[in-house]
Structure 1
Amino acid sequence: MLSTVKNISVIYDPINESKTFSSGDYISGRISVELAKDCTINSLSIKAKGKAQVRWTEKHGKTTTTYHAKEKYFSMKQFIIQEQKGQGSDHQTLVTGQSGQAYCNVVAPGCHVYPFTFQIPPQEMPNSFKGSVGKVIYILEARLSRSMRIDSTAVTEFNFVSRPNINSIPGILSPQHGTKDKKMTFFTSGTVAMDINIERMGYYQGEGLKVFAAIQNNSSREIKPKYLLYKKHSFFARGKRRLNTIDVLKEEGEPISPSTNQNVTKVLHIPPDIGVSILNCSILKVEHRLRVYLDVPYASDPEIKFPVVILPAAQAPGQGELPPPYPGFGVDSFGNPNQPSWSSSPSVPQHPGASQYPGASQYPGASQFPGGQQYPGAPVFPSAPVFPTAPQFPATTTSGTSAPPPSYGSVYPSLFDYEQKS
């Protein structure tokens, strides 16, 4: 038997080359309905909605438990055709569509197109994302209802990217620094040490992440610096956490001979298609880490981890951009005893007038970074520090470790009750 509704589909019009939408954008499109014969429509509607959800199962003995959670961001519905009983003749109700055109609920055979427009709510929402047991999705759903018939539906997803606001993430502009030294035992003797600096916490998709390292090899073996950028997907439901760790980028440096001190600079090119960080969703998180470690034969590898925030490459007009690194920041700063540690690094104020950088003016609405270029909504940085030449490592080094860089749990304590060591 030939179906009356041969096809129903939803198409939206892209507003940029990347086919992405952000908060406050308008999304326009069309519902296309193809009919085989005359059809009386009770209602034809289009809905735009955004939500996050996670779902997974675990076995505990003979019992299987399902963990599920959902977070809703918005839901908006428009009726293109809607039955209004008691008005007009039977099957001749005229209803005004979104475009101002009047549509009849008795529709002739053929293909019919109905335009629509929504404005995405101007609020903070997480980026589109799909993981192993969770996702953040934004969809357009068309629904055609008829009397005594199953509804005909069509769904299409659109890609949502939040407008990056660097002032909302504490410490995103602060340089990161960590040190590690280790005494070798068993098959390797002596000590190794490293002093690592990176320019900041936040980077855009496709940007270069520069790592500055001062490495001391006072061991009996050749060692090799290695770099690993990886992402952590965390899903939360009913007090439980599911964690997936995925390597994104692996690189290694040149070998360093025994009894050698060496300054090394390595640029890691962040993939342009890497998923951005999601830190503003209560049921899932997308985090990134940079792990710098020394590959020591026949010994455990000393390592330092830094949190990294990946921002979308498409910079919306009017939003602040990441500033250039401090002038003179580089290998000359290695080994500086006054280099700020994680516990003493200044954090970026979140709101105007919230706090001050040491030696800086009060947080203004628009300010200048060194070099005179303006970044609206950005804080004023103090004068660039002048770092002394890196001192030579002593002939012998006692084992010890400086304060490690902070975890995402320390930066966002209210969001990471389930943080575990990884």
Structure 2
Amino acid sequence: MVAMTKRVKTLDVIFNDPSKTFYCSGEKVAGKIIVEVTQATRVLSMRVVGVGCAKVHYTKGKQRCRQETEYLKYEEVVFLDDQPIDADGSVMLRPCNTYEYRFGFELPQEGQLVSSYKGKFGSIQYFVKASMERPGQPALECKRTFEVEEPLDVCTPDLLSPTGGTKEKKVTCMFIPDGQVSLSAKIDRRGFCEGEDICINAKFENTCSRIVVPKAAITAKHIYQANGRTKVFHQKLSSVRGNHIISGMCDAWQGKTIRVPKIKPSMLGCNIIRVEYALMIYVHIPGSEKLILELPLVIGTAGLGSRTNSISSQDGSVSNSSLSWVSLRMPSVPPSYCDLEQPLTPLLDDFDGDDSPIFITTPAFQFQPPPVYTEVDEAYNGKPQMLQVC
């Protein structure tokens, strides 16, 4: 933000490395304050303040909830190099010159900062503010924000260990028991980074009379705390779905993948704002509440780097699934409907947020046409003659 008045043409904060995307704990934030004036201007002092704070603000009922937590507070008075200073410490700035006040300070060590954040009901911001004090006039201010990203390594033994669970739900129809739906799922670790694939192994069983659909989604939960109250905001980030399961049937996912989208790392160190992620594996049951199993995830900034391997495995699976199973004879093993590229026919209303209705695939056996054949006329001059039949 550049500040300007009739006397002051430019007052701006410039960092030494404007291309730097973010800072980490312990790094130095350095730069300069650029000042240009249109008339001779006396400056009493130039003060630089580094600020980092978390703010939560929302309305619950008729009550306005607000709370702040400070993570950075730095302040110093900076001076010009090789510039004469009067007895009172002031300096005279003249037009047609560009003046530079240099500053620099170190961010607190690891564990004392949290990453920058901007959400629906709160934010965590860091900025440098310059304040120019002049005699007989209000102070002139400008500020420039910078991003902080605290490293979060997911290659710890706790986050590399597998996790899973089992859930089941009894289904009723007009208070009459109608069987149950159950699922069990497992993933090989809890820690992931942006762009990595989560491999899901799961089993689903449907003994009720309805057609159910298994699904999985990566969700985010933003938790805001202020004035002793808590506000929670949920987000569905990405999802995948499986085949429908009719009554009395089972289905299994063997390494079904869902990719971690471009998201901010988990935020666990702030006492008024938290961002938590989870893999939600659930079954859509028409006319009843979903059966949901949540497996907690931690999204970090440094991980296993498995994106290349996951892409290679996906390419291999695509090439295998594209092989045609249709031949001149009925196959001994019925084909999987999910491998056929056929027109989709709506089966039932299964709209769920960003999902589309469920579809059933109608297979079509594409047998080859019979070969062109001929008939023999043996009565023609005692010699066979070939007659083509159209």
- On whether the aligned pair clears a TM of 0.5, the verdict is yes
Larger Rg: 2
The answer to whether the Cα contact below 8 Å between 2:201 and 2:252 also exists between their aligned partners in 1 is: yes
2:72 counterpart residue number: 74
* Separation (CA, whole Å) in 1 of partners of 2:126 and 2:17: 14
Residues 1:8 and 2:11 aligned together: yes
2:49 counterpart residue number: 47
Residues 1:270 and 2:260 aligned together: yes
Residues 300-323 of structure 1: per-residue CA shift (max 9 Å, x gap): 3211012222213xx4xxxxx459
The answer to whether the Cα contact below 8 Å between 2:44 and 2:134 also exists between their aligned partners in 1 is: yes
Residues 1:161 and 2:176 aligned together: no
Quote the offset at 1:245 in angstroms.
1.6
Amino acid in structure 2 at the alignment position of 1:32: I
Q: Matched residue of 2:173: which SS?
A: coil
Query: Equivalent of 1:178, from 165, 168, 178?
Result: 165
* Separation (CA, whole Å) in 1 of partners of 2:49 and 2:86: 29
1:256 counterpart residue number: 245
Residues 1:236 and 2:225 aligned together: yes
Residues 1:105 and 2:78 aligned together: no
Query: Equivalent of 2:106, from 115, 119, 123?
Result: 119
* Separation (CA, whole Å) in 1 of partners of 2:139 and 2:106: 26
Identity of aligned residues (%): 25
Inter-CA distance 189–206: structure 2 relative to 1 (3 Å threshold): same
Quote the offset at 1:291 in angstroms.
1.5
* Separation (CA, whole Å) in 1 of partners of 2:191 and 2:23: 22
1:374-413 matched pairs, under 5 angstroms:
none
1:196 counterpart residue number: 185
Inter-CA distance 41–307: structure 2 relative to 1 (3 Å threshold): same
Quote the offset at 1:133 in angstroms.
2.3
Amino acid in structure 2 at the alignment position of 1:123: E
The answer to whether the Cα contact below 8 Å between 1:134 and 1:235 also exists between their aligned partners in 2 is: yes
Quote the offset at 1:172 in angstroms.
2.6
Inter-CA distance 262–57: structure 2 relative to 1 (3 Å threshold): closer
- Say which structure, 1 or 2, has more relative contact order (CA 8 Å, 6+ apart): 1
Amino acid in structure 1 at the alignment position of 2:91: N
Instruction: Tell me which moved more, 297-306 or 33-42.
Output: 297-306
The answer to whether the Cα contact below 8 Å between 2:153 and 2:300 also exists between their aligned partners in 1 is: no
Amino acid in structure 2 at the alignment position of 1:9: D
Quote the offset at 1:134 in angstroms.
1.4
Query: Equivalent of 2:212, from 216, 219, 223?
Result: 223
Amino acid in structure 2 at the alignment position of 1:12: F
Amino acid in structure 2 at the alignment position of 1:267: T
2:275 counterpart residue number: 286
Quote the offset at 1:166 in angstroms.
4.5
Inter-CA distance 151–237: structure 2 relative to 1 (3 Å threshold): same
Residues 239-289 of structure 1: per-residue CA shift (max 9 Å, x gap): 1112222222232222234333322132111112x1222111111211122
* Separation (CA, whole Å) in 2 of partners of 1:175 and 1:286: 22
Amino acid in structure 2 at the alignment position of 1:109: P
Quote the offset at 1:137 in angstroms.
0.9
* Separation (CA, whole Å) in 1 of partners of 2:245 and 2:17: 51
Cα root mean square deviation, aligned = 2.8
Quote the offset at 1:106 in angstroms.
1.2
Residues 1:299 and 2:295 aligned together: no
Inter-CA distance 271–167: structure 2 relative to 1 (3 Å threshold): closer
Amino acid in structure 1 at the alignment position of 2:258: L
Quote the offset at 1:75 in angstroms.
1.1
* Separation (CA, whole Å) in 2 of partners of 1:206 and 1:167: 16
Quote the offset at 1:88 in angstroms.
6.7
Residues 1:132 and 2:120 aligned together: yes
* Separation (CA, whole Å) in 2 of partners of 1:20 and 1:166: 20
2:203 counterpart residue number: 214
1:32 counterpart residue number: 34
- Give unpaired runs (5+ residues) of structure 1: 94-103, 316-320, 325-422
The number of equivalent residue pairs is 295
Quote the offset at 1:293 in angstroms.
0.7
* Separation (CA, whole Å) in 2 of partners of 1:286 and 1:199: 22
The answer to whether the Cα contact below 8 Å between 1:41 and 1:81 also exists between their aligned partners in 2 is: no
- Give unpaired runs (5+ residues) of structure 2: 307-390
* Separation (CA, whole Å) in 1 of partners of 2:292 and 2:201: 14
Quote the offset at 1:181 in angstroms.
2.1
Amino acid in structure 2 at the alignment position of 1:108: R
Inter-CA distance 153–210: structure 2 relative to 1 (3 Å threshold): same
The answer to whether the Cα contact below 8 Å between 2:211 and 2:244 also exists between their aligned partners in 1 is: yes
Higher fraction of strand: 2
Quote the offset at 1:15 in angstroms.
8.0
**Superposition TM-score, scaled by structure 1 size:** 0.64
Instruction: Tell me which moved more, 292-301 or 278-287.
Output: 292-301
Inter-CA distance 218–240: structure 2 relative to 1 (3 Å threshold): same
1:397 counterpart residue number: none
Quote the offset at 1:155 in angstroms.
1.0
* Separation (CA, whole Å) in 2 of partners of 1:48 and 1:143: 11
1:328-367 matched pairs, under 5 angstroms:
none
